[in-house]
């Protein structure tokens, strides 16, 4: 009989670790069904896999095997008669779902991400992201210079971040009036949500010219919306009452974040605030999405997910003070800072 350590035998440890090493196959199966739009063909009733295969142009036997695996994750459900249905957790895979996860799943598992994850050992050895070593350029230069990668990234980020931002938006108290500047706000989806929820605010969408949509949302009045192109490492629009940075600070190193935050500090109107919508790494050994996202940052860019103390330090260096952290139900928290 094998001896055990902490009640776990060597055999059980090995079996568990090999199973964990195979976890990437769940992500691969999820990517495949998202690409193929399988969930779009599942409504209120279960369907035979043969019908799903015909609708998606796939092999029924192989599709059955992929859906059977994803049914163990609670995304699909295999009925006793062999048919498959979409569970409530899986509804976000539908293209017509509010804040659909479909393209976020595709972005999170795109080839460049898989390859960078495969070379994570490079990051551990060198302290540098593996993406530039593999592809010869920085991640965001690649996204900006490659139309296909750019479309996949921005579409995926809208999908990836929409639901998380929505949950955080519900928890944060925005000012009743004034100007909110969305720094690095992309195509403006989050700023639109902010303005619709807060009718007394005006919005400035700030990002690089090739990212800005060039038109305001139809449901936001013209006098409440403006777009300014620029580089947040150089300067940001002045006289805002609230500067929002959503999924921005985790992309950059501490020194780079301090540069961005200092520019925000210089531009702030008296009494203004900064609200960083990003993950906050919690202490302890419990499962934490922030710790997963942190490795994504490690392999792609110079950034990282931060603890509360780490946020406090970069704020201090930028002439700001961490005033509070507002947790939300999803992966994001709102980390608020004020000028010193």
Residue 332's CATH number: 3.40.50.150
Indicate whether 51 belongs to any domain: yes
Token pair for residue 53? 């295969």
Q: What is the model's pLDDT at position 2?
A: 67
Indicate whether 1 belongs to any domain: no
Last residue of a domain, one of 64, 97, 130: 97
Q: Which of 64, 122, 142, 250 is catalytic?
A: 250
Query: Which candidate, 93, 107, 105, 130, places its Cα nearest to that of 27?
Result: 105
Indicate whether 61 belongs to any domain: yes
Last residue of a domain, one of 70, 97, 124: 97
Q: Residue 234: is its pLDDT beyond 80?
A: yes
250 assigned to active site: yes
The residue assigned the tokens 């944060």 is 172
Indicate whether 140 belongs to any domain: no
Query: Which candidate, 174, 312, 192, places its Cα nearest to that of 241?
Result: 174
Q: Are residues 181 and 282 in the same domain?
A: yes
The answer to whether 188 and 213 have CB atoms below 8 angstroms apart is yes
Q: Residue 1: is its pLDDT beyond 60?
A: no
pLDDT in tens, 39-52: 999 988 999 999 99
To 10 degrees, what angle do helices 189-197 and 147-169 make? 20
Indicate whether 243 belongs to any domain: yes
Q: Are residues 328 and 195 in the same domain?
A: yes
Q: Which structural domain, as residue segments, surrounds residue 275? A: 172-339
Whole-number Å distance between alpha carbons of 244 and 246: 6
Query: Which candidate, 212, 203, 213, 217, places its Cα nearest to that of 174?
Result: 203
Range with the lowest mean pLDDT among 70-79, 198-207, 327-336?
A: 327-336
Indicate whether 166 belongs to any domain: no
Number of domains forming the structure of the chain = 2
The fraction of the chain above a pLDDT of 70, given in percent, is: 99
Q: Residue 160: is its pLDDT beyond 80?
A: no
Please, what is the average pLDDT of the chain? 94
pTM of the full structure:
0.89
Q: Are residues 185 and 268 in the same domain?
A: yes
Q: Residue 167: is its pLDDT beyond 90?
A: no
Query: Which candidate, 199, 203, 200, places its Cα nearest to that of 185?
Result: 203
Indicate whether 106 belongs to any domain: no
3-state secondary structure of 278: strand
Indicate whether 161 belongs to any domain: no
Last residue of a domain, one of 68, 97, 126: 97
CATH number for position 74: 1.10.10.10
């Amino acid at each position: 009989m094998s001896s055990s350590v902490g009640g776990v035998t060597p055999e059980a440890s090995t079996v568990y670790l090999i199973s964990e090493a195979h976890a990437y196959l769940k992500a691969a199966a999820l990517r495949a069904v998202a690409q193929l739009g399988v969930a779009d063909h599942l409504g209120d009733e279960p369907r035979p896999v043969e019908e799903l295969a015909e609708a998606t142009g796939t092999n029924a036997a192989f599709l059955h095997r992929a859906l059977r695996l994803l049914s163990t994750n609670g995304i699909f459900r295999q009925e006793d008669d062999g048919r498959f249905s979409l569970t409530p957790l899986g509804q976000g895979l539908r293209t017509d779902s509010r804040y659909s996860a479909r393209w976020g799943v595709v972005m999170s598992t795109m080839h460049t991400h898989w390859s960078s994850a495969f070379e994570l050992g490079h990051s551990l050895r060198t302290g540098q992201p593996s993406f530039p070593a593999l592809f010869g350029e920085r991640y965001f230069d690649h996204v900006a210079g490659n139309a296909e990668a750019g479309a996949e990234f921005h579409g995926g980020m809208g999908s990836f971040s929409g639901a998380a931002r929505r949950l955080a938006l519900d928890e944060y108290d925005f000012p009743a009036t004034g100007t909110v500047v969305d720094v690095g706000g992309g195509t403006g989806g989050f700023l639109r949500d902010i303005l619709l929820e807060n009718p007394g605010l005006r919005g400035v969408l700030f990002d690089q010219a090739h990212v800005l949509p060039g038109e305001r949302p139809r449901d936001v009045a013209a006098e409440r919306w403006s777009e300014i192109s620029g580089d947040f490492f150089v300067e940001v629009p002045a006289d805002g009452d609230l500067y929002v940075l959503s999924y921005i600070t985790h992309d950059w190193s501490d020194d780079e974040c301090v540069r961005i935050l200092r520019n925000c500090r210089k531009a702030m109107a008296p009494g203004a605030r900064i609200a960083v919508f990003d993950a906050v790494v919690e202490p302890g050994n419990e499962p934490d999405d922030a710790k997963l996202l942190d490795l994504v940052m490690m392999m792609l860019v110079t950034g990282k997910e931060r603890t509360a103390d780490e946020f406090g330090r970069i704020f201090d260096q930028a002439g700001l003070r961490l005033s509070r952290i507002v947790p939300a139900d999803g992966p994001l928290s709102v980390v608020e800072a004020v000028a010193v």
